[in-house]
Structure 1
Amino acid sequence: MEFDKQKVDKLEQEIEVEFQNEELLKRAITHKSYSNENRERSLKNNERLEFLGDAILDLVISEYIFAEYPDHPEGELAKIRSVVVSAPVLAEKSKEINLGNYLLLGKGEEITGGRKRNSILADAFEALVGSIYLDQGLEVVREFILELLTADIMTVEAGEHIQDYKTLLQELIQQSSNSRPDYLVVKEEGPDHNKEFTVQVVFEDEVLGTGIGSSKKEAQQQAAKNAIKKIQ
């Protein structure tokens, strides 16, 4: 997939930002797999923009929740921010603006579904934030971020956001492996109307975490949450 003027215009319409330097936008959607396969073109990938965008997201979200929730202690503010800028949430924002449709990916990533992979989508969203900041400045990128994430902030603050720990754990594991963890029910207790399940999440013969819940799904999420704590 090449990135021509028509695609530039369409992406700008999706995100409602008109770039002065369209090379920044092109770099934001260039995955390293694409630049590696096209070394002769000396393309820059989006990793540096991702680094910048990550910091800008932290700043904008921190500033917003600091002002909006003056009675919340530091720990609660940190928890809200950590969920709002997590990979699953940012990947969802990428899907809302159809960012995956515009990514420049290498053949391997294309074949294995990289356009829909949360880690790639989240990284691309951060890179897009970085590119908007460099091209348009802080006020424009703040407006872009809050337009997409204010509803999520409110949901998280109200305690109504359900973090998908299984997806987050998978994203962490995929940083170093293509394998997936297994979730094993090791105990099932209680009558049918009041079951309690114990689940272990296992990766490469190692138990990463154990969770207990009233359903297998709830126990799996708890196991994944505990595994993430262990890994991090």
Structure 2
Amino acid sequence: MKPIISRIVEYFNGKKISEQYPKWEKSLSQLQKRIEYNFHDSTLLKAALTHKSYLRRKYNDHKIPSPFERMEFLGDSILGFVVSKELFGRHPDEQEGKLSKLKSKIVSETYLTLKANAIDLGKYILLSPEEHSSGGNNKPSILSDTMEAMICAIYLDSGIAAATRFIKNHILVEYETTVTRNELVNYKSILQEYMQSRNQTPPIYVTVAEEGPEHHKTFVVEARVDGKIIGIGKGNTKKTAHQEAARMACQKLGV
């Protein structure tokens, strides 16, 4: 594990990002208080919060390797393992199907975005000027990805026990209440029913772009009615992107 950490630290320090953004570096102490974890090697936290868009814009290279994406990849697996283990222990009488549905909601982009907002994570993410101006600090795909990258950073810094504590304290906290709230409703169904109640053509969902590496793509989907775009969504799966497009459409239509 140490060679991997060394490579991340060497790469990040080589970009001299902290020297360019001293206020950003100083603000990270606030985030560490929020998450109740102090990094032994703060470079891991900085790497997890430096979005790929910043690096690629700064160095004018869209193929530049990004620690953020690698950390997100590992963090996603750690999150899935810890959530599965906790649900297995907390619900001894539930069948596999119920546990799988519960887990899928907890590790979903929508749920992770709620938890990211609870710690004001968006204000600490370093983005390219273009991504920042388009509201990137509030985008569900970026917030959820950053949560996963931060889980990886904690794991690399202190191991699985520390990562588990973070997940239990900041992601699994009040999960049974949260997964039944309106934020996790099926927006596609709501939009479908809304259009049907007005005898209008049901929406169709068109994937217009696929971004990112094969192992972790981001899908861009448009919700259309009679050829008109009524909502656009992004997500790490087509299903999530569909839901986000439907949510944006519902918001636009005042549903």
TM-score by length of 2: 0.65
CA distance in 1: counterparts of 2:74 and 2:101, whole angstroms: 21
Cα deviation digits, residues 4-36 of structure 1 (max 9, x gap)? 441232221121111111110001001110010
For the structure 1 residues 66 and 31, does the alpha-carbon distance in structure 2 shift closer, same or farther, using more than 3 Å as the test? same
For residue 71 of structure 1, what is the aligned residue in structure 2?
Answer: 93
For residue 160 of structure 2, what is the aligned residue in structure 1?
Answer: 138
* Contact 1:35-1:45 at 8 Å conserved across structures: no
For the structure 1 residues 140 and 165, does the alpha-carbon distance in structure 2 shift closer, same or farther, using more than 3 Å as the test? same
For residue 7 of structure 1, what is the aligned residue in structure 2?
Answer: 27
Query: What secondary structure does 1:120 align onto?
Result: helix
CA distance in 2: counterparts of 1:32 and 1:127, whole angstroms: 12
CA distance in 2: counterparts of 1:93 and 1:201, whole angstroms: 30
CA distance in 2: counterparts of 1:183 and 1:107, whole angstroms: 36
For residue 107 of structure 1, what is the aligned residue in structure 2?
Answer: 129
- CA-based RMSD of the aligned residues comes to 3.6
1:187 equivalenced with 2:196 (yes/no):
yes
TM-score by length of 1: 0.71
Cα deviation digits, residues 34-59 of structure 1 (max 9, x gap)? 01012289884411111111011111
CA distance in 2: counterparts of 1:110 and 1:16, whole angstroms: 27
CA distance in 2: counterparts of 1:102 and 1:186, whole angstroms: 39
Number of equivalences? 193
1:207 is displaced (CA, Å) by: 10
1:149 equivalenced with 2:171 (yes/no):
yes
**2:42 counterpart (7, 10, 22):** 22
* Contact 1:87-1:119 at 8 Å conserved across structures: yes
For the structure 1 residues 11 and 76, does the alpha-carbon distance in structure 2 shift closer, same or farther, using more than 3 Å as the test? same
1:95 equivalenced with 2:97 (yes/no):
no
* Contact 1:183-1:199 at 8 Å conserved across structures: no
* Contact 2:71-2:153 at 8 Å conserved across structures: yes
CA distance in 1: counterparts of 2:67 and 2:132, whole angstroms: 16
Could you tell me which runs of 5 or more consecutive residues in structure 1 were left unpaired when the two chains were aligned: 170-181, 190-196, 210-226
Query: What secondary structure does 1:72 align onto?
Result: coil
